[in-house]
Amino acid sequence: MGEVRIQNVNLCTGDNKLVISAKSINYPQWGADDWILFSREGGALYMIKSDGDSLKQLNDSILFASYFWINDGLAIHAKHNNINLILNTDGEIFDTIPFSIGMGAYKNHRLAVWGYINSQNSHSIGVINLENWQFTPYTDYEPFRIPLSISWLDDETIVWSNTKGIHTANILTGHITTIKATPCDILRYNSVSGAPDSSGKLLTTRTEYIYVNPDSLVSYRRISLLDTHTGQEWILGLE
């Protein structure tokens, strides 16, 4: 088995620097103060600087899932035994979240989330206000059609992907828009991440399925940059 790498890439110049490599690395996320959060080799959480310095393991005996930054990168959400926890950057548990969240994204004291929200008794996509723990649902989804990822496109718009494409919801009006449809089974957007500057650009991981002959299907995973204003998409060549 080959190694998986986290790389720091300048999209303007093409400069590409290795941050870390390992046999297994999952879902790296950039946070505050140049920290990158990721998991590897069995589920342990780690933090590392983008220059490859200051590697820190956050947990050893407890395995966390569904992790993401909250509170502007000063804390971490993670799930253990179906309990939604808040950790500090030393991996210590200091609070819990009274919802069953599948995955989420933080912005301005709010969480864009999908999961089974007990107060709604349904599987929903919506926003949690962390100041009063109020949940506002925007759409439901069937349990077997779990969203693949969720993020913020700007201060007023959440964005998520599923097997049908990439969709947005305006949190002021509740209006839902499909900005990229995938009507066929040969393309899936596995993840979407909104640009921090609210420019309307999305970094995506897309999987394409190609039949090399009638009974042989090959998949290719690629990273792309999608401009949601124009619909233009660029394959970045970072596979």
Find the CATH number of the domain harbouring 55. Answer: 2.20.25
- Of 63, 97, 131, the residue at which a domain comes to its end is 97
Count of structural domains within the chain: 2
Same domain, 191 and 116: yes
State how far the alpha carbon of 93 is from the alpha carbons of 13, 48, 49, 62, 152, in Å.
40, 20, 22, 11, 25
The answer to whether residues 112 and 87 belong to one domain is: no
Tokens in use for 145?
């059609």
Do residue 120 and residue 237 come from a single domain?
yes
The verdict on 59 and 75 lying in the same domain is yes
CATH number at residue 154: 2.120.10.30
Residue 41 burial (C-beta neighbours within 10 Å; 0-12, 13-18, 19+): exposed
Same-domain pairing of 106 and 213:
yes
Residues 124 and 210 in one domain: yes
Structural domain boundaries, residue 14 = 1-97
Global confidence as pTM: 0.80
- CA 68 to CA 30: how far, in whole Å? 9
End position of a domain, from candidates 97, 121, 150:
97
Based on the fold, state whether residues 111 and 229 are members of the same structural domain. yes
**Which residues, at least 6 apart from 11, have a Cβ–Cβ distance to it below 8 Å?**
225, 236
Domain boundary residue, one of 52, 76, 97: 97
Tokens at 123, concatenated: 């599987």
**pLDDT digit of tens for each residue in the chain (239 aa)?**
456 555 666 656 667 666 555 555 567 777 778 788 877 766 678 888 877 788 888 877 567 778 888 888 889 988 888 888 899 988 888 888 877 788 899 999 999 998 866 555 578 899 999 888 888 999 988 777 788 889 999 999 999 999 899 999 999 999 999 999 987 888 899 889 888 888 999 988 888 888 777 777 787 878 888 999 999 998 875 54
What are the tokens at 85? 């926890």
Same domain? For 239 and 217 the reply is yes
Does one domain contain both 153 and 192?
yes
Kindly state whether residues 130 and 107 are assigned to the same domain.
Answer: yes
Statement to judge: residues 175 and 85 lie in one domain = no
- CB contact at 8 A, 186 and 209: yes
Q: Are residues 13 and 117 in the same domain?
A: no
